[in-house]
């Protein structure tokens, strides 16, 4: 009898530990969790990701393919409880950084995950370096946990394909007529038609393009690409010397044009200054005559006698300053 009581007590204790104590769990601050019951995730009614703003980045033909149910997300905290037939999946939502050349399925690919190769429009094989910042999307945990087997592999593959397509078809933005005229007046030389130069000068535009194109990754794979930062574009070794020579010649031409423009601007400024000086001199010579004419006009307004008296006073002052006076005598 005692043995039966002991066995029963042990069984009850094991049941409590196995199904009650072990069923208590917590969720860390940088984690989110999803609970499944008999293998089916707890859902928010019949809502899907197509009803969330993240679906706006999908193309019309992709909406049916990437339609995932919205699941109940367990926030940080606890303790929470789960039954034996329930299972909890925890994921970290912290932002992570990865080399954009990293291949999840083959770490030895792309020079052991250091350089991503791409071909430009003029058939040059370039090496790209940079980083990608990403995090798990709380709004689409179903896709991350159950929809895609290895979400990060899909995201990296999608990013690589979009980037290579952009590199292969990239052309420098065309300048408007006003911008071209402004650059010409500033002494800028025409842009060299080498795609690597265009790519290097437009890294910011390429990064922004990648951010726009990969904005749908949240709805596709449950991963949000916070930013892509391409830091380097290196040509092949056999092209580097030729490219350096082209750039050197371009810089020399730009320098010569800038010096010529600066000299022309200096000459133009000096000419304008000379014209201003001569104009001021002419105004200084004309001003006394204008003042004298105004005074004579005012004297004339006081009558002919006032003007005659003024002329007589002026003659007297001239006689006082003169050492010799020659008078013209009229002969009868």
Query: For position 33, what pLDDT does the model report?
Result: 92
**Can you give the residue ranges of every domain in the chain?**
6-235, 249-318
- Residues 172, 174, 175: CA angle, nearest 5 degrees: 125
**DSSP 8-class letter at 323:** S
Assess whether pLDDT exceeds 60 at residue 190: no
Residue 322's CB is within 10 A of a number of other CB atoms, namely 9
Please, are residues 26 and 77 in contact by the beta-carbon 8 Å criterion?
yes
User: In the chain, pLDDT over 70 holds for what percent of residues?
Assistant: 80
Please, are residues 128 and 117 in contact by the beta-carbon 8 Å criterion?
yes
What is the arithmetic mean of pLDDT over 292-309? 74
Assess whether pLDDT exceeds 80 at residue 4: no
Higher-pLDDT residue of 196, 125: 125
Assess whether pLDDT exceeds 50 at residue 184: no
pLDDT digits (tens, 9 = 90+) for 61-78: 888 888 999 999 999 987
Query: For position 169, what pLDDT does the model report?
Result: 84
The CATH superfamily label for domain 6-235 reads: Band 7 domain (3.30.479.30)
How large is the C-alpha radius of gyration of the chain? 43
Tally the residues of the chain. Answer: 332
pLDDT digits (tens, 9 = 90+) for 161-179: 888 888 888 876 665 444 4
Residue 137's CB is within 10 A of a number of other CB atoms, namely 24
Note the Cα 175 to chain centre separation in Å. Answer: 18
Please, are residues 230 and 130 in contact by the beta-carbon 8 Å criterion?
yes
């Amino acid at each position: 009898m005692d043995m039966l009581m002991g066995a029963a007590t042990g069984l009850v204790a094991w049941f409590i530990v196995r199904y009650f104590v072990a069923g208590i769990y917590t969720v860390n601050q940088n984690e989110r969790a999803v609970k499944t019951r008999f293998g089916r995730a707890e859902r928010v009614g019949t809502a899907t990701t197509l009803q969330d703003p993240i679906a706006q980045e999908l193309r019309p033909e992709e909406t049916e393919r990437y339609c995932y149910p919205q699941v109940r997300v367990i926030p940080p905290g606890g303790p929470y409880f789960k039954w034996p037939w329930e299972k909890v999946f925890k994921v970290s939502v912290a932002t992570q950084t990865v080399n954009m050349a990293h291949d999840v399925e083959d770490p030895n690919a792309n020079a052991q995950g250091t350089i991503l190769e791409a071909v430009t429009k003029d058939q040059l094989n370039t090496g790209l370096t940079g980083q990608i910042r990403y995090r798990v999307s709380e709004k689409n945990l179903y896709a991350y946990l159950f929809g895609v087997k290895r979400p990060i592999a899909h995201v990296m593959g999608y990013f690589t394909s979009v980037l290579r397509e952009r590199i292969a078809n990239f052309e420098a933005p065309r300048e408007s007529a006003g911008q071209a005229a402004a650059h010409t007046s500033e002494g800028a030389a025409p842009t060299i038609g080498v795609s690597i130069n265009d790519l290097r000068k437009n890294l910011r535009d390429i990064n922004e393009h990648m951010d726009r194109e990969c904005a749908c990754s949240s709805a596709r794979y449950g991963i949000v690409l916070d930013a892509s930062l391409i830091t380097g574009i290196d040509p092949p070794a056999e092209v580097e010397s030729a490219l350096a020579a082209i750039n050197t010649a371009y810089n020399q031409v730009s320098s010569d044009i800038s010096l010529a423009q600066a000299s022309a601007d200096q000459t133009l400024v000096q000419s304008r200054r000379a014209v201003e000086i001569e104009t001021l001199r002419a105004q200084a010579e004309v001003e006394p005559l204008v003042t004298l004419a105004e005074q004579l006009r005012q004297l004339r307004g006081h009558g002919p006698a006032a003007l005659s008296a003024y002329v007589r006073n002026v003659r007297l002052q001239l006689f006082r300053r003169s050492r010799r006076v020659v008078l013209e005598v009229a002969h009868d």
